[in-house]
Amino acid sequence: MNPNDRNRRPPGSKKGVPAIPKRNMDDDEEEVTRRIGGVRPNFSPNLSNTQFASPMLPSPMMQTAPSKLQASVPNKSRQVYNWALHTVPTLPEFYPLERTAVFIAGTSCETIASRIAKVLRERSIEASYDDAKAKVRCMSTEGVDFRVRLYRGRDQFSDGIIVEVQRRFGSGLAFYNETKAILNAAEGKPPAPTPMTLSSRNLPEVSDDEDDSYVPPPSGASSLLVVSKMLRIPGFDGQYLGLSTLATLVDPEKMSPQTSRKVSAELLKPDSESDVGPQVFSYIISRKEDEDYAQLRILALQVLAHAIKATGIIPAFLRGDLRAVLLEDVKAAEKHPRAACAALGSMEFFIHGDEDTMELNEAFESAFAAGEARHNMLMQQAQRCIATIR
């Protein structure tokens, strides 16, 4: 082997050979097969206890003056989390590594683990660390479920560490972007610039004079009708597709302000012609000890936040019930930062006119501390809420 190739490709993989689906030891089970897609359990929201006919929406990030944000930072802040990993298991024999892996020679596992924890925080990736298995369970802001695992090389590669990233579920493109950033960070390379988010401001402007056959955009009711059909598909995949589509439709950063406003207004109407609203609200108020259901609930929280942002309205008949549920999510920011971040996107609008701003402020500061330690986006969203309440 050419010694110059040692850092280019981890041992255990071969040039020109596609990645081999493998069975691996993961989580708290015996051997399981990684899950990229396929049939999921049948999830349908429980509407039996829902007393209204209106929905909720996702979590946008509001723009606030930097000086105000800086002034609102809590005095007592938590130290940024550092993954203190001291040992890693040796790569098992006949273990087919993913192509999304690198071999890093001459660097301690402590240093590599610290780099990984830093990039996960900066990219707002929810992470659960397992020191015994040298593994991190990750969920990105776009809902990509993946694992980061560390191994010590075997034989002549025993002086280095292998970092492998395994996708379980979610967008391949989003996974590629996260993987590239994580592996570059593990190798000590400078971080790549954050890709620009696609929004209506990035889209080219087209004059109406250029096309006499202009067709006005669909109404909010017709858009929700399409989403409603998706949500009727049984199983996780149908629910996920429907909520993901809805989250895009109500997001003013991804759709035109007019479109997102129309769909959001229809979604939040008490007398909406669509049944999408009650389904979204049902996901928000329900909690189940199931990871797939939690994924769908976070999407519903994001839908709520984006809809409120697009319309600037919190329907009076929803405020009381939503406040209690969202506040509970914010208080659990340490354990579930993605859900807390999505809830804060809506809570920012609940502040004005609230009867107990002291309770809100305590929850926001707790979420800020959790975000400062492990989740950059959560920290920023909590910061905006604190700035608004003051």
d(CA 166, CA 169): 10
Residue 148 domain boundaries: 17-42+80-186
Give domain status of residue 175, yes or no. yes
Please tell me the distance from the alpha carbon of residue 212 to that of residue 200, in angstroms, as a whole number: 23
pLDDT of residue 272: 77
In a domain, 156, yes or no: yes
Residue 375 resides in a domain: no
Inform me whether the pLDDT recorded for 150 exceeds 60. yes
> Which residue has tokens 């020679």?
105
Q: What is the pTM of this model?
A: 0.76
Query: At CB < 8 A and 24+ separation, what contacts does 119-123 make?
Result: 119/181, 119/182, 119/185, 119/186, 119/191, 120/148, 120/182, 120/374, 121/80, 121/81, 121/373, 121/374, 121/375, 121/376, 122/191, 122/376, 123/178, 123/181, 123/376
Rounded to whole angstroms, the Cα distance separating 359 from 355 reads 9
pLDDT tops 70 at residue 207: no
CA atoms of 384 and 348, how far apart (whole Å): 7
Mean pLDDT of 306-322: 85
Residue 112 has pLDDT above 60, yes or no: yes
Instruction: Please give the residue that has the higher pLDDT: either 151 or 200.
Output: 151
Residue 246 lies in a domain: no
The region of weakest confidence among 184-188, 240-244, 317-321 is 317-321
Q: Residue type at 137?
A: R
Q: Are 267 and 280 in contact (CB under 8 A)?
A: yes
CA angle 227, 304, 50 (to 5 degrees): 75
Percent of the chain with pLDDT over 70: 73
What's the number of domains the chain is made of? 1
pLDDT in tens, 49-94: 444 333 333 333 333 334 444 445 555 545 789 999 999 999 999 8
pLDDT in tens, 227-249: 999 999 888 999 999 999 999 99
pLDDT band of residue 350 (cuts 50, 70, 90) is confident
Establish if 230 belongs to a structural domain. Answer: no
More confident site: 365 or 195: 365
Return mean pLDDT, the chain. 79
Q: What is the pLDDT of residue 223?
A: 84
Under the banding of pLDDT at 50, 70 and 90, the label for residue 128 is: very high
**What mean pLDDT do residues 130-140 have?**
96
Closest alpha carbon to 147 in 112, 124, 120, 121: 120
Asked if residue 176 is part of any domain, the answer here is yes
E-strand stretches of 85-222? 101-105, 126-130, 135-139, 145-152, 160-169
Instruction: Report if residue 200 sits inside a domain.
Output: no
Average pLDDT over residues 282-288: 89
Confidence at 363, pLDDT banded by 50, 70, 90: very high
Alpha-carbon separation of residue 79 from 37, 89, 90 (angstroms): 37, 28, 31
Question: Does residue 23 have a pLDDT over 60?
Answer: no
CATH number for the domain that contains residue 140: 3.30.310.80
CB 237 within 8 A of CB 283: no
Mean pLDDT lowest for which of 191-200, 250-259, 260-269?
191-200
Q: What does the pLDDT look like over 159-185, one tens digit per residue?
A: 999 999 999 998 888 999 999 999 999
Residue 36 falls within a domain, yes or no?
yes
Q: With a cut of 70, say whether residue 16 has pLDDT above it.
A: no
Residue with tokens 């050979």: 17
Stretch 266-278: mean pLDDT, rounded?
85
Regarding predicted confidence, which is higher, 175 or 23? 175
Q: Label residue 367 left, alpha or beta by phi (over 0 means left) and psi (-120 to 50 means alpha).
A: alpha
